[in-house]
Amino acid sequence: MTIDTAMILAAGLGTRMRPITETLPKPLVDVAGKPLIAYGLEALSHAGVSRSVVNVHYLAPLLTDWLSKQSGMTIEISDETDQLLDSGGGIVKALPLLGTEPFLVLNADTFWLEEPGSDTGNLTRMVDRFDPESMDILLMTARLDQATGHTGAGDFVLSEDGRLARFRGQGDPVIYAGAIILHPRIFEDITEPKFSLNRCFDSAEKEGRLFGMPMRGHWLTVGTPEAIGEAEAARARYLGEPVR
């Protein structure tokens, strides 16, 4: 199948990134010479996505202005300045822009480095893997040793057939790596406007329709000012470049 539409979740407050985010929305925080959200837009472009929806809330005019200056992709804004709707509610609000077919979802504050020499990027591999007949949600996953900036034990366990189950202390945990393909039917029975995507993950897991795709490369999450330097150093090491 092909997927040419995506959503980037960019409406968070970025409180852990203060004082930087007192004057700058977190998606525009610079890491290795470019804003965090730019990594996601580049990955989507490389995967053939031609249209993205970005939700905005905190310091929305700054982010909207930056997005308006980007070229190569149609970018539409889902305005949440009146009320933050959490990850799931934000997507439902944007559904009129996203349509009724499966689409990609990225977090604005995580990114990854593709495996050097790989002919196929992770998002393209996800699109090739997604089967709407058997899946409602496909998550990109990372091993703990593939990640920089992650704290915690892990999120899920990946079975041999690719299905995911919540990590409950047994098995080898993997991290949800901030990229999703989902079918919008997962939202059909949800009526409240504000809710977390975790609710949808649990529903899909219960029905055996939550799957994972192990990423190739290295995954980075940047949650605090201190994590910026850690991410830049990890990036340089992985790519064999001098640290800035």
CATH classification at residue 114: 3.90.550.10
Cα gap 85→82, rounded to integer Å: 10
pLDDT, position 48: 92
- How crowded is residue 100: how many other Cβ atoms within 10 Å of its Cβ? 9
pLDDT, position 243: 59
Q: Is residue 187, in this structure, part of any structural domain at all?
A: yes
pLDDT, position 71: 83
- Backbone φ, ψ for residue 65 (5° rounding): -65, -45
pLDDT, position 4: 93
Tokens of 111: 């990114």
Q: Is residue 208, in this structure, part of any structural domain at all?
A: yes
pLDDT < 50: residue spans in the chain: none
Q: Is residue 244, in this structure, part of any structural domain at all?
A: no
Please give the tally of structural domains in the chain: 1
**Spatial contact of 171 and 118, defined as CB atoms under 8 Å apart:** no
* Residue 10: domain span: 5-239
**Spatial contact of 126 and 139, defined as CB atoms under 8 Å apart:** no
Q: Is residue 141, in this structure, part of any structural domain at all?
A: yes
pTM of the full structure: 0.92
Burial class (CB in 10 A: 0-12, 13-18, 19+), 46: middle
Cα gap 187→168, rounded to integer Å: 25
Q: Is residue 22, in this structure, part of any structural domain at all?
A: yes
Q: Is residue 93, in this structure, part of any structural domain at all?
A: yes
Place of tokens 């290295």: 218
